[in-house]
Amino acid sequence: MRFTRITVAPIAVLITAGVLLAGALTACSSQPSASDDQSASTMHTTGTHMMAAPATTAATAADLRVTLDRLFAQHAVLAMNATNAGVSGSKSFPAAAKALDANSVAISKAIASVYGAEAGETFLNGKFMWRDHIKFFVDYTTALATKDQAGENKAVNNLKQYTVTFGNFLASATGLPTLAVRNDLLGHVLELKNQLDAYAAGDYTKAAAAYDAAYNHMFMTGDLIAGAIAKQQNLK
């Protein structure tokens, strides 16, 4: 089935679920939002400050790597499952979104286990941080389903800003090169977008290939971040 003809009812399901998800994410967030004109450099400084004092660390470097690889790979799968359900108007979308958010919380706890609760909270709920990028994908999915080009453009621009702000945060935390982190995040965003675009257009062969690529990419991301943290925290 191609999704170039989506009925009003499935679109309503998607929009309602998207609104509910956005509300849930806002309610769960206890991190004060930065002002809209806050610069990336300010967030960079904030991230450095928040990540300065490590808390309880993972048992070994291998434990950390396995944990982050698993959680990041799950994120890609759950995100694509949710957006595919959303663009098709499936009633499974709210449940898929809930599973995706549970994964987000698990990743933030892994970060908090190394850098402390405040860092985990910022990772999860800071402006243009982890939960925000999921919300932006929900926005993109809704706009794609309703053929709202302006909405698509806004969501894409927000996702681009996420790669900068969140990239600065991760780089300042781990000591990784900022540009390398931003590029890795941009690759992830583009893979998820390309997968969703192909799925919505009914090109399932292309969508399946993009799905596989996005899943595999997250193991590289997990290895990159886990390796940097292990070196920084002297994990063996």
**Contact 67/130 with Cβ under 8 angstroms?**
no
DSSP-based three-state secondary structure for 104: helix
The whole-number pLDDT of residue 118 equals 95
What is the rounded CA–CA span in Å between residue 169 and residue 5?
Answer: 41
The whole-number pLDDT of residue 59 equals 72
The pTM of this model reads: 0.77
E-state strands within the chain: none
Per-residue model confidence as pLDDT tens digits over 176-234: 999 999 999 999 999 999 999 999 999 999 999 999 999 999 999 999 999 999 999 89
User: pLDDT higher for 50 or 191?
Assistant: 191
Cα–Cα nearest to 25, from 134, 188, 182, 112: 134
How many other C-beta atoms are found inside a 10 Å radius of the C-beta of residue 231? Answer: 13
Domain range annotation of the chain: 39-233
pLDDT average, residue stretch 80-86: 97
